[in-house]
Structure 1
Amino acid sequence: MRIYTRSGDKGTTSLIFGKRVPKNDIRVEAYGTCDEANSMIGISLSHLNEVDWNEKGQFEETLHRVQTILFHVGAELATPSDKEVTWKLKEEHIKELEQQIDEWDKELPPLKNFILPSGIPTSAALHSARTIVRRAERSAVALNDDDAYPLVVSYLNRLSDFLFVAARFVNHKCGGKELPLKADI
Structure 2
Amino acid sequence: MKGTNYISEKYRKYLLEIIFAEQKYYTVFGADLSDKETDKLLVDVDGNILLFSMPADLLSLILKSSSFFDNSVLQEWAGEINGIKEPYTVISFDVLTKNIFDLSDVELFKSIYDTLGIVKDYSVQIGDERLRTLLDDDILLQFKGDLAGYFTWSESTSFKISVNVDVLFFSLKEVYKRLKEKLSFYQ
Structure number, greater radius of gyration: 1
Bigger relative contact order (CA 8 A; separation at least 6): 1
> Is TM-score (shorter-chain normalized) higher than 0.5?
no
Higher strand share: 2
TM-score (norm 2): 0.30
Higher helix share: 1
